[in-house]
Structure 1
Amino acid sequence: MSPPSSPSSSPPSQPSSSTELTGRAILIGLIVGSLLCFTNCYFGLQSSWISMSSMQSALVGYGLVKLLPRTSDEDTEGAIALPSDQGEDAPASPSSLFWRYFGTGRFTPQENVVLAATAVALGSMPLTVGLIGIVPALAQLKPERDHGALPVYLTGWHLLLWCAALSFFGVFFASPLRKRTIVKEKLVFPSGTATAHLVGVLHGTGVREDRLAASKQQQQQRPGQEENGANDEQPLLNTGVNEENGDPHSAVVGQPAWTALIWSFLASLAFTFSSALLPVLYVMPVFDVLPPHNLARVWGWYLTPSLSYIGQGIIMGLHTTASMLVGAIFGWAFLSPLAHNSGWTDAPPMDAESGSKGWILWISLAIMTAESFVGLAVIFFAEVTSQSIRTSSSGDDEEDEPSSRLPPPRTIIVGLALSSLFAVGTLYALFGREGIEPYTTVVAIVLAFALSVLAVRALGSTDLNPVAALGKMSQLVFAILQPHNIVANMIAGGLCEAGAMQSGELLQTFKTGHLTGTSPRSQFWGQLMGSFAGIFVSSYAYQLYTKIYTIPSPSFPAPAASMWLNFARLVNNGEVPRHSTEWMVGCGAVFAVTGTIKAVAQARASKRSAGDPVAPWERWAFYLPSGIAFAVGLLNTPNFSIARFIGGVVSHLWMRNMPGAGSSASSSRILIIIVASGFVLGEGAGSIINLFAKQAGLRPLSCAGCRGGCGGGC
């Protein structure tokens, strides 16, 4: 196999979009996306944290396609014909027609990007349609606290209609924003850029250089990084491949790498199934050796040696996971005992309603909201003041793709109109005027687009999609439009979050496509197909989890649902637990300051040219904790943060001891991503097996050692 081609500033030859949107790309994208959907539903209900998994989709999808018949390293065209790509008459043989559309021969980088776009659209559906937050929150309504609102249980056709109503806004929002953010302003979209380079390494090809963003990523020193490039917090994947040291392709996608993926997947799957038989494996009371010897049952301190959470920590990195661990220690070793022993709560510490577990949730909410708001403000100010600089070149004002490779404008307009009408009618039919007024739904859709612009800019600059803050911002608006209506507040906020989250993440895949020369039209259709399939897969997954497990429960506390419900109660009732206001204001103020410092440092770094000096304060700003990660540490019991921190340490040690540059470094980085992906997907697959096993009557063999948090059959 020839080595990767050298990147250049000129676009590569553009294949027809009909050679990219192949049946095998869509089929494998749907398979990978379905696994991600179950996995994200599982992890979201456990800890509120999900992954868009574009890199994992490209990795796993690449391996699965290689198992298909008639897939080789030879160039053979085969694709679904699009309206603008009609060519010669199709072969007369039905078999030839099938293989032409399904795809044969070499699996191209462009097909892999379409595969990833399809998988991301489907896999992110649990967050897009609120299955980890709003839907379980609606089921926790209490008439005595929520102005007479009864619990709302969405099941069967009602849940399908709900998912359909929220599934398509982001796709139609994302396409019009592509030209402005990616082509003209050249926002970095770090995860999308990293996925593009990963695809380039997997397929042994280069990527199209983004003349502004990619060059900055390659040359720019990050705050806190030494001039020689030695930094413990290196990214897991370089933005370029040093080709002088040989071909990285064979080292990455050869037998050792796929063996590592299979074994990491099987190890995580085996642990997940074993923990269903022996629940203590998942919640080890290792801290009960310390006084008062009831830290697991009473205070929530236990260890979950989950390979999936370790894998998440590897992908997140040490800085993020360390911020989570510090947040967990602050919340569960200091705030929780303080609130309980001071008499500020009226229930045992682990009670999510009236105990200190529910009390510290408000502090988490304040920190998350404060840092997200100030970060958005700084990013927005920086983007506005520098917009003229970005678009000063006349060449940047031109679209880089012919119209035949762009999403059809008429389809976008008609699709947005129809999906909006469908949402208005469906939500009114499901909830009635007592739930949400039609005009409120219309306002929510309009506001969703405005918030999508903010989400895309934040994600493009920082790799963080602040949907939590944007959702809370929208709840403030709807508390005015329909006051004292908790149901309307959460539904309308969910519409806004759906648009902002999905459009932001799909812009990441458009960035990947931009760097790999993939047709935006092919990605658009892949996203639509992934979103459509996600309606059925996500609703089925959620109904399975809620049928087999109690939600909320120790096993699935659904912390995101508590966040949505409590904030809706706050903006409609103004009630917070005793003495939480002072801590909310104090902690929110601290992280507003640190968030401002970090956001300003990131904004300055994104505009710094190679060789420009880095101010000392920018260096130490990098080491300030992430407020979002800190808040997640408060929100979840410590076991999740401990496991992720272990993964962060593993990632840190791996990066320090791997080769310093060249193809060996890229191979090492990708190898650990492969192992981490196997860990995450293994537990996701294991959770599906456990679902059906429990449905068939499987119960734990023994509950010995369980002292709290086991849930399930114990």
Structure 2
Amino acid sequence: MAIEEKDENSSGEVSVEQIFETQSIPSWREQLTVRAFVVSLILGFFFSFIVMKLNLTVGIIPSLNVSAGMLGYFLVSVYTKVLAKFGMLKHPFTRQENTVIQTCVVATSGIAFSGGFGSYLFGMSDIIAKQTEEANTAQNTKTLQLGWIIGFLFVVSFLGLFSVVPLRKIMIIDHKLIYPSGTATAHLINSFHTPQGAKLVKRQVYALFKCFVCSFLWAFFQWFYTAGDDCGFAAFPTLGLKAYQNKFYFDFSATYVGVGMICPYIVNISLLAGSVLSWGIMWPLIEAKKGDWYSDKLSASNLHGLQGYKVFIGIAMILGDGLYNFCAMLVKTARDVSMNCLQKEATSVLPLAGRPSPNSSVSFDDMRRKEIFVKDQIPTKLAFLGYALLAVASIITVPHIFPQLKWYHILVTYIFAPVLAFCNAYGCGLTDWSLASSYGKLAIILFGAWVGLGNGGVLAGLASCGVMMSIVSTASDLMQDFKTGYLTLASPRAMFISQVIGTAMGCVIGPVVFWIFYKAYNVGVAGSEYPAPYATVYRGIALLGVEGLGSLPKNCLTLCIIFFIAAFLLSAAKDFAKHMKWRVQHFLPSAMAMAIPFFIGSYFSIDMCLGSLILFLWRKFNLRQAEAFAPAVASGMICGEGIWSLPSSILSLAKVKPPICMKFLSRSTNAKVDAFLTG
């Protein structure tokens, strides 16, 4: 579906920008239309529900850029065609406006993830603190309220946008960073607005809509059988009751099957491998040590019992993988920058490997895109002033929200944050991998230890994580969007404003959507529909920072060290194999993905592997069709069940309960129940 970017001189084919050469480019003001932001608001709210559901369950969020661009194209196209039919259309729908919509929607729904509703923010709550039974004090917990959550997000979510704006030309034009997700999204948007692409996208949207309806109706049907705990298709012991007790079952979730179709095969296989290693081998063996390694009188959620092994070994793997990627990214960034600086001195051009040499002719596309990209500049003074003003506002405001953090803690964060934001944005351009969560975990440990347990170090660490993650995450997101805008000739100024407006929308929509989940369900409770497992993980990291390693249960530290080293070496081996272009790189699992089932369970990994199997077979039978329609089908499955969360939440708030409980019992238990009922 993507348009091949070939220069006419070299291949005889018309290049991308020559296809659009006859179309005038709207000014940056004309790209920022009212209809674009109305559609962005609708889709942003829609996608925030999907992201929030995934955030509060498994924490794996697939890229929704394609869905946002596709649905944005569809909605505005329908609107403009209706206006044109009645002779009322004044402005045609352009690819630049489509880019603005996609940017705004992703920025809005991105806050549902980076806002920490399933991680650091919810980890502050007494719900998670009571489950861990550690540091459950007023100094280390905070009552969740909609007002301060919105205020906190507003004062910390915009700094990352201003921190990397002055570097946009260096990264996009001078260093020619790829930003794979931004580039792929741009190709799709360019394709949508060609005659052939417009026909294909209609078929894709139709496929998405059909899967959306089926997924929504399937979720609605399942609701009728969930009148009690462990009821319904989500508790179906597909592989037997014993396997179900160890979290091995298929829960009939269209969402996770769809996510599995989008995620790479190796991610899903890694999840399954982690499930087998933890719930199939390790936890049964450690549970057999009850009374020896840990007291048999502890509750199931106590971090000094089996739960401690689940949480801290998973954390060790996440930190091992994160540390390697953090170090590797710093090395790659430093090496790449130094090489480009040396080449600049020699040739005044900064080519990277695999790109045209300085002596080769510059393509028509490159000249056209560079001309537009440098046209509407965002004043550097404005970026510095904006960062300074927002930093001052944050330094004043955040300590009032979190008294455990002092003004000098925030000041230190904002001094180092631009450097880390640059590293993350640059590394994301090279590898498409954002390490925002790694920077956040580092902030948890450093600031938690700085403040100390008695002074509210747990809460201080989690809050500082939110400050750091917001900056480095939005910085890389903005640069991805700049790359998309560069390839679609969207104005950088329009892209920046769209990102700001989308972030502002997200700072309100994200908390409101979370509040609906929070009030309608038992969010954060182990075994519930929305367990928010990462909230426990982030709080566990904060506890490690303030209490030290001595707080771990018996032999847990030894196991943590083993798995930390194993994760580090596995990530290094995978990276080395990729560098050497060995085929084994495709078969080495991801340590980060393996760690996720350690404290969640195995059910979703089975769902996601089924999604991979469906995609694999589809590609075997019809590769072209699979490549064109698989993202749309997967997005429809995710969106349908995801949006069911809204009416389901409303029914729950209205105290409307399902009429049936479908539960499965063993033969012996069923005989006892029958005897009890007949007796």
* Shorter-chain TM-score range: 0.7 to 0.9
Counterpart in the other structure of 2:672: none
What letter corresponds to residue 53 of structure 1 in structure 2? L
- How far apart, in 1, do the equivalents of 2:371 and 2:559 lie? 51
Contact 2:54 2:61 in 1 (8 A): yes
Q: How does 1:78-227 map onto structure 2 within 5 Å?
A: 104-105=91-92, 107-139=93-125, 140-141=128-129, 145=135, 149-204=139-194
Instruction: Give distance in 2, aligned partners of 1:173 and 1:71.
Output: 42
Higher deviation after alignment, 619-628 or 271-280: 271-280
Other-structure match for 1:500: 472
Contact map agreement 2:373 2:489 (CA 8 A) in 1:
no
Aligned to 1:28: 39
The match for 2:248 is: 301
Distance 1:630 1:692, change over 3 A: same
Between 1:585-594 and 1:399-408, the stretch displaced more is 399-408
Structure with higher helix content: 2
Which aligned pairs between 1:659-670 and structure 2 lie closer than 5 A? 659=623, 665=624, 668-670=626-628
Per-residue deviation, 1:127? 2.2
1:522-561 maps to which residues of 2 (within 5 A)? 522-553=494-525, 554-561=528-535
Structure 2 Cα separation of the partners of residues 419 and 170 of structure 1? 10
Aligned to 2:237: 286
- Report 1:186-335 matches (<5 A): 186-204=176-194, 247=196, 249-250=198-199, 252-254=200-202, 256-279=203-226, 280-287=231-238, 289=240, 293-296=241-244, 298-335=245-282
For the 8 Å contact 1:24–1:65, the answer to whether it is kept is yes
What residue in structure 2 maps to residue 682 of structure 1?
640
1:581-592 to structure 2, matched below 5 A, reads 581-592=557-568
Is the 8 Å Cα contact of residues 72 and 98 (structure 2) preserved in structure 1?
yes
| Equivalent residue for 2:54, pick from 27, 30, 43 | 43
Aligned residues: 614
Match for 1:366: what amino acid?
A
Distance 1:339 1:120 in 2: 42
615, 626, 630: which one aligns with 1:672: 630
Equivalent position of 2:438 in the other structure: 469
Task: State how far apart, in whole Å, the 2-side matches of 1:440 and 1:706 are.
Answer: 53
Residues 1:342 and 2:289 are matched in the alignment: yes
The whole-number CA distance in structure 2 between the counterparts of 1:161 and 1:331 is: 40
Question: What do residues 585-628 of structure 1 show as CA deviations (whole Å, max 9, x unaligned)?
Answer: 111212211211222344x3xxxxxxxxx65xx22123100111
- Which 10-residue stretch deviates more, 552-561 or 448-457? 448-457
1:634-660 Cα offsets, whole Å, 9 max, x none, are 24211111111111222222233334x
Specify the alignment match of 2:463 in structure 1: 491
Question: What residue in structure 2 maps to residue 619 of structure 1?
Answer: 583
Partner Cα distance (1:655, 1:347) in 2:
52
Answer yes or no: is the 8 Å Cα contact 1:170–1:501 preserved in 2: yes
CA drift at 1:524? 0.6
Tell me the amino acid that sits aligned with residue 567 of structure 1: I
Note if contact 1:448-1:497 (Cα within 8 Å) is conserved in structure 2.
Answer: no
Mapped contact 1:348–1:355 kept (Cα < 8 A): yes
Aligned residue for 1:455? 424
Shift of 1:174: 4.0
> Which of 477, 492, 496 is the equivalent residue of 1:520?
492
The residue type paired with residue 654 of structure 2 is A
Unaligned runs of 5+ residues in structure 2 are 8-14, 352-366, 667-679
Please state how far the C-alpha of 1:480 moved relative to its aligned partner: 4.2
Q: What's the CA shift for 1:184?
A: 2.0
Change (3 A) 1:358 1:310: farther
What is the alpha-carbon distance in structure 2 between the residues aligned to residue 348 and residue 324 of structure 1? 29
| Worse-superposed segment, 416-425 or 275-284 | 275-284
Q: Distance in 2 between matches of 1:358 and 1:623?
A: 30
Distance in 1 between residues matched to 2:594 and 2:84, nearest whole Å: 46
Residue range with higher mean Cα deviation, 23-32 or 671-680: 23-32
SS at match of 2:660: coil
Match of 1:481 in 2: 450
Whole-angstrom CA distance in 2 between matches of 1:451 and 1:6: 33
Secondary structure at 1:266's aligned position in 2?
Answer: helix
Hey, what's the Cα distance between the residues in 1 that align with 2:210 and 2:302? Answer: 38
Alpha-carbon contact 1:479-1:489 (below 8 Å) kept: yes
> Which residue in 1 is equivalent to 2:620?
656
Specify the code of the residue in structure 2 equivalent to 1:375.
N
- Give, in whole Å, the separation in 1 of the partners of 2:558 and 2:430: 33
Native 8 Å contact 2:232 2:663 kept in 1: no
Offset, 1:390: 3.8
**Are residues 4 and 502 of structure 1, via their aligned partners in 2, closer, same or farther at CA, if it must alter by over 3 Å?**
closer
| Alignment deviations for residues 128-156 of structure 1 (CA, whole Å, 9 cap, x no partner) | 22212122111133686357625311213
- CA-to-aligned-CA distance 1:63-92 (integer Å, 9 cap, x gap): 111221456899xxxxxxxxxxxxxxxxxx
Whole-angstrom CA distance in 2 between matches of 1:355 and 1:470: 29
Aligned to 1:55: 66
Is the 2:449–2:545 contact (alpha carbons within 8 Å) kept by the matching residues of 1?
A: no
Distance 1:461 1:137 in 2: 32
One-letter amino acid matched to 2:286: A
Give the corresponding residue for 1:383: 333
Cα 1:636/1:446, change in 2 over 3 Å: farther
Superposed CA offset, 1:408-441 (max 9, x none)? 4343223222322222222222222xx2111111
Show the counterpart of 2:356: none
> Counterpart of 2:28?
17
Checking the alignment, whether the CA contact within 8 Å between 2:62 and 2:262 is kept in structure 1 is no
Helix, strand or coil for the counterpart of 1:124? Answer: helix
> Structure 1: which amino acid aligns with 2:439?
L
Please say if residues 236 and 664 of structure 2, whose CA atoms lie closer than 8 Å, have aligned partners that are also in contact: yes
Identity of aligned residues (%): 23
Change (3 A) 1:439 1:138: same
Q: Is the 8 A contact 1:38 1:684 kept in 2?
A: yes
Distance 1:7 1:357, change over 3 A: farther
TM-score, normalised with respect to structure 1? 0.80
TM-fit CA distance, 1:186 = 2.0
Distance in structure 1 (CA, Å) of the matches to 2:429 and 2:374: 24
Match for residue 354 of structure 2? none
Structure 1 residue corresponding to 2:348, chosen from 359, 372, 394: 394
CA contact (8 A) 2:326 2:438 kept: no
Structure 1 residue 428 corresponds to structure 2 residue 379: no
Q: CA deviation at 1:333?
A: 1.0
Alpha carbons 1:52, 1:505 under 8 Å: kept = no
- Select the residue among 51, 66, 72 that pairs with 2:77: 66
Seen in structure 2, the aligned counterparts of structure 1 residues 599 and 307 have a Cα distance that, compared at 3 Å, is: same
Give distance in 1, aligned partners of 2:174 and 2:323.
26
Seen in structure 2, the aligned counterparts of structure 1 residues 265 and 654 have a Cα distance that, compared at 3 Å, is same
Opposite residue 394 of structure 1, the aligned amino acid is S
Match of 2:411 among 439, 442, 448: 442
* Deviation for aligned residue 1:514: 1.7
Aligned partner (choices 409, 412, 424) of residue 380 of structure 2: 409
Query: How far 1:682 moved relative to its partner?
Result: 1.1
SS at match of 2:423: helix
Q: CA deviation at 1:274?
A: 2.5
* SS at 1:625 equivalent: coil
Deviates more, 1:574-583 or 1:544-553: 574-583
Cα contact 2:160–2:472 (8 A) shared by 1: yes
Residue pair 1:283, 1:706 contacting (<8 A) in 2 also: no
Matched-pair contact (CA < 8 Å) for 2:150–2:511: yes
Question: Which stretch of structure 1 is more off in the superposition, 668-677 or 146-155?
Answer: 146-155
Cα pair distance change 1:417/1:347, threshold 3 Å: farther
| SS, match of residue 530 in structure 2 | coil
